[in-house]
Amino acid sequence: MSNFLNVTSQIDQFFRELMELIPQFYVDGFGKNSIGLVPGRLETEDVQIGLDEFCENLLIEKLRASNCSLRLFSEHTQLNIGDSSEINYFITCDPFDGSGHYMRGLPAEWWTVLTVWDPKSLVPVWACAADFIRKEIYFADSNGVKLEIYSTGEIINLQSSKDTKVSNDSIIACYIMSPKYLRLLGNKLNNFTKIMESQFPKMRFWPDGGACSYPWLSRGMTNAYVMFDEPRTEIDPGLGFVWASGLKVYSVSKSGNLEEYVFDPNKSSESIPWFIASCTEDFAKDIVDLIFGYNENSQ
């Protein structure tokens, strides 16, 4: 079996085991305890909980069983697995996205998101994400993105939105579940939301985000994800879905210029001041134009 199949088959097992374990963990109250800070994050933003640690340790166990040489960039740690002199793949992962919800008893948006990278070209080769609430597994490769309905095994081919303009049908995701991010988005997008209310009153904001944003963008359920001070650890695990779906991800300057975001393993603990993931480049530009067209105080 090739290195690629060894790695992806072990990761597939990892996702399927978690799909069975996590609902029971919730019933039992397992893993809600806080065990430490997330590197590069304030305690008020995010903490590592027992379930994060369990998921990460299980992933490491599976990756070691692949007998491949890997460099893991997890939300909580970085380490080499196998022979570090000749790395076969980089892996970016959020072992459990939604720990803030889980530790507070909220049964909503529990995910694991992971991308496998060619270590030389820094181009994704495969990605996977599990939605534990809806029991769905997403797979991304050079042929696109597929969804597996876990209970039946049904496979569905997915397509991202091709919209180029904000409209009444648009759904834009923004994480606003902590005071910091609600404040940042409120300050930066105050006039933008007024324009939405005036021109596109039927559009919707989805109030969650992070690594789990990218499967839904690939599925066409959302058109964009807009954040300020977005940690790279929330971006990099989902970039395999960006690659497979032809989505666009940008760092936006204070003047509104779009610079394509790229994975940089040396900057994984940093944050992006203004970040947009979008179904198309034109849709991202339209968001920026609307913000700057009606917000004289945005710079």
pLDDT, one tens digit per residue, over 203-255 is: 999 999 999 999 999 999 999 999 999 999 999 999 999 999 999 999 999 99
Which of 131-135, 183-187, 246-250, 263-267 has the least mean pLDDT? 183-187
pLDDT value at 294 more than 70: no
Q: How confident is the model at residue 144 (pLDDT cuts 50, 70, 90)?
A: very high
Instruction: Report domain extents, the chain.
Output: 3-157, 171-294
CATH number 3.40.190.80 given to 171-294: yes
Q: How confident is the model at residue 190 (pLDDT cuts 50, 70, 90)?
A: confident
pLDDT, one tens digit per residue, over 22-35 is: 999 999 999 999 88
Statement: the pTM of the whole predicted model exceeds 0.85? yes
pLDDT value at 43 more than 70: no
Q: How confident is the model at residue 298 (pLDDT cuts 50, 70, 90)?
A: very low
pLDDT value at 296 more than 50: no
Q: What is residue 42's predicted lDDT score, i.e. its pLDDT?
A: 64
Q: How confident is the model at residue 48 (pLDDT cuts 50, 70, 90)?
A: confident
Higher pLDDT, 175 or 292: 175
Q: How confident is the model at residue 84 (pLDDT cuts 50, 70, 90)?
A: confident
Average pLDDT in the chain: 94
Which two three-digit tokens encode residue 8?
A: 């992806």
- 3-157 topology per CATH: Fructose-1,6-Bisphosphatase; Chain A, domain 1 (3.30.540)
% of the chain with per-residue pLDDT over 90: 84
Q: What is residue 133's predicted lDDT score, i.e. its pLDDT?
A: 98
Q: What is residue 46's predicted lDDT score, i.e. its pLDDT?
A: 66
